[in-house]
Amino acid sequence: MYDSIILRNVSRLMFPILLLLSLFMLVRGHNLPGGGFIGGLLAASAFILQIIAYGPMYLRTTFQINFLNLAAFGVIFAALWGLVGLVTGQAYMLAFWLKEPIPGIGKLGTPVLFDVGVYLTVIGVTTQLALVLAEEPTLYPIQRPPARRDAVAPEA
Amino acid sequence: MAHHLFLPLIVPLVSAGVATIISGRRFWARVIAVAATLFNLGYSVWLLATIAATGRQVTQAGGWAAPFGITLMADGLSAIMLLLTALLTLATIMFSLATLDARQERFYYYPLLLLLMFGCSGAFLTGDLFNLYVWFEILLVASFGLITLGGSRAQLEGGLKYVALNLFGSLCFLVGAGLVYGVAGTLNMAHLAERLNAIQEPTLVTAVAGFFLIAFGSKAALAPLFFWLPTSYHTPSIAVTALFGGLLSKVGIYALYRVFGTVFQSELGRLAPLILAVAGVTMVVGVIGAMAQINVRRILAFHIVSQVGYMAMGLGLASVAGLTAGILFMAHNIVVKTALFLIGGAAEHLTGTGDLKQLGGMARREPFLAVLWLLASFALVGIPPLSGFFGKLGLIQAGVAQEQWLIVAVAAGVSLFTLFSMLKIWNEVFWKKAYSDMSRLPRAGAGLLAPAVILVAVSIAMGLGAAPALEYSAFAAEQVFDAAGLARDVCGANGCDAVELAVAR
């Protein structure tokens, strides 16, 4: 956690912007650069920015999400949309598209839904990794003696 | 198009996701893990029969035509490995039900186990070199999690060595895949086999094949790249060690068989002397290392290394007979090695130590466990009519037929030393008088012995039913060497190049 008033205000402002950008990246993924993985990393960066500004406990209490379960749900979700092809007697992960493009989003189909699963998985795994690393000093504090007898340990 | 090939991949993956979400409820996590494993077991038995009846099964992921998309294919070797993977995972889960503490179980043990099964199944089914790399990474990440589950200091130390050396192997694999893509312009195994046999610059192909040999050799724990195995395999919980000991090094051997038997067929004759030399050194070094150890699991870990040498010898003989014996030996070894780990592990679980000096008197206390140990260790040494005998006999016969006297002598000699090692454990753990008072220790229950009983029964069945097992191994070996037939099955009657040309026009 980095104690800075500037960083806190900026991160509060940036959080919705980064999430919107990640959603934009997610839906443009099937014919332009972007997609579930990149969108997921952007969304995870929004969460990780909160960890840096406010500390891991803030994220745990504000968003009461179990990020590992989110990742597991994303894997299941992605795998399920591949099943559509298998159930209809064709190859697994075969793409099915809507006939008409939706204005503003473009064509929708099972690859987009698969990408949503990837998106959730990447958010879950990346944020969980960052949380575990950020919580380590509070969960497993290292006992160090002060450097000099009259010195006080600095506030971490 | 055999679309059912996706099932043994989808089921473990989705089950792993569900088991992660409900990891707090131990009972349901166990139910899901057992159900998914049973599904894979049943499916692979069915696949084995199907392949024997109708030949290779091939499907294309996402419906993309053969040399462009990712191909999944299953032949005899894949089916054998898939079956053994499911069997071992089932035995491991049964053993963990009896031995694992609740804290470890709640810490995503079953999801990691299912992901390991998912990764191994994928590696055995894929028909694409880069995809094989991806499956390797999946099973490695799952194994990193399993090997450090519990977080003791020794585990982290062993896990670090394991991770470092395995990442080096993965890097070599990735470099090799990149180079082969540059040389041949494709990564589909069937297409590669076609192209590499007709290539103008064989020296470059030999160099790339060397990269693959290093990569898979380090995964399979061949000398001189086996140090990660004995240093890390005695640290995790017993069930995990048993699964790793049976399965992980054999995934590397499978990749060697597949890549050098099918893809780099033209290079196999050139590299055969090197593979044979590496195999011989591996056998000797592994068995000598085992003699110096005084811990049950460390002895067995060094024997994994020694036995992997025999499987590499099957490839190094570069003939159908050699590969047949290698496949049979690998199938036997996967079962028996895990059985030995589970039996030694049961003794360790009951007494709380794997140190030979402190153990003793188990034959009097647990006669049934002692009988199991005798059966399994004799099978490992290769005493007829148990399963190890036929694999070793086939290897030695193939070696004699090709007049490779040195490797035959080494293989026969190492068997004697293996017997010495097994008798050492027998004497120290089961036969000698216990120094400490053992009357207070718990007795082995049915749950602890059942997985070992199943595996020993499978091993005995493989020994008594050696004729069908040998027949199927021969069938699998012929399929591995049949690159032209593979191209026909994957890309249609005219081969893969024809498909690519048709699209280019």
**Chain A residue numbers touching B63 (CB-CB < 8 A):** 85, 90-91, 93-95
Q: What is the pLDDT of residues B241-285, one digit of tens each?
A: 999 999 999 999 999 999 999 999 888 888 999 999 999 999 999
For residue A151, what pLDDT is reported? Answer: 57
For residue B401, what pLDDT is reported? Answer: 93
Of B3, B18, B20, nearest to A92 by CB-CB distance is B3
Asked whether the predicted pLDDT for residue A148 surpasses 70, the reply is no
**Taking Cα atoms as reference points, which of B239, B185, B223, B258 lies closest to residue B481?**
B258
Q: What is the pLDDT of residues B304-314, one digit of tens each?
A: 999 999 999 99
**Chain A residue numbers touching B18 (CB-CB < 8 A):** 72, 76
**What confidence category does residue A152 fall into, taking pLDDT thresholds of 50, 70 and 90?**
low
Instruction: Flag whether residue A73 sits within 8 Å of chain B, measured between CB atoms.
Output: yes
Q: What is the pLDDT of residues B230-251, one digit of tens each?
A: 888 888 889 999 999 999 999 9
For residue A94, what pLDDT is reported? Answer: 84
Of B21, B61, B111, nearest to A93 by CB-CB distance is B61
Helices (H), B430-495: 446-464, 466-481, 483-491
Rounded CA gap, B106 and B138, in Å?
21
Helices (H), B292-401: 296-316, 320-351, 362-365, 367-381, 387-401
Asked whether the predicted pLDDT for residue A156 surpasses 60, the reply is no
What averages of pLDDT result for each successive group of 10 residues across chain B (505 residues)?
Answer: 90 95 90 96 95 92 84 94 96 91 85 95 94 95 90 86 92 94 90 84 87 94 89 89 92 95 88 94 94 90 94 93 95 94 91 83 87 92 87 93 92 92 90 78 85 94 91 94 89 83 80
Contact A83 B61 (CB under 8 A): no
C-alpha to C-alpha distances, B52 to A41, B46, B123, nearest whole angstrom: 46, 10, 21
| pTM score, whole prediction | 0.93
Instruction: Flag whether residue B2 sits within 8 Å of chain A, measured between CB atoms.
Output: no
Q: What is the pLDDT of residues A15-25, one digit of tens each?
A: 999 999 999 99
Contact B20 A68 (CB under 8 A): yes
Residue B465 Cα to chain centre, angstroms: 22
Instruction: Flag whether residue B63 sits within 8 Å of chain A, measured between CB atoms.
Output: yes
Which of A76, A77, A115 has the highest number of chain B CBs within 10 A, making it the mutation to test binding with B? A76
Cα of B428 to nearest chain A Cα, Å: 41
For residue B467, what pLDDT is reported? Answer: 92
**Chain A residue numbers touching B25 (CB-CB < 8 A):** none
Of A73, A83, A91, nearest to B59 by CB-CB distance is A91
Of B10, B60, B62, nearest to A79 by CB-CB distance is B10
Helix orientation angle between B466-481 and B446-464, rounded to the nearest 10 degrees: 80
**Chain B residue numbers touching A95 (CB-CB < 8 A):** 62-63
**B58 sits in which H/E element:** strand B57-60
Helix orientation angle between B153-184 and B189-197, rounded to the nearest 10 degrees: 50
Q: What is the pLDDT of residues A96-120, one digit of tens each?
A: 887 877 776 667 788 888 999 999 9
Contact B62 A93 (CB under 8 A): yes
**Chain B residue numbers touching A93 (CB-CB < 8 A):** 61-63
8-67 in chain A: CB under 8 A from chain B = none
Find the residue in A nearest to B17 (Cα). Answer: A72
For residue A41, what pLDDT is reported? Answer: 96
Q: What is the DSSP string of B4-40?
A: GGGHHHHHHHHHHHHHHHTTT-HHHHHHHHHHHHHHH
Instruction: Flag whether residue A76 sits within 8 Å of chain B, measured between CB atoms.
Output: yes
Contact A94 B6 (CB under 8 A): no
Q: What is the DSSP string of B378-412?
A: HHHHT-TTSHHHHHHHHHHHHHHHTT-HHHHHHHH
Instruction: Flag whether residue A92 sits within 8 Å of chain B, measured between CB atoms.
Output: yes
**What confidence category does residue A147 fall into, taking pLDDT thresholds of 50, 70 and 90?**
low
Which of B7, B10, B115, B126 has the highest number of chain A CBs within 10 A, making it the mutation to test binding with A? B10
Half-sphere CA count of B259, side-chain side, radius 13 A = 32
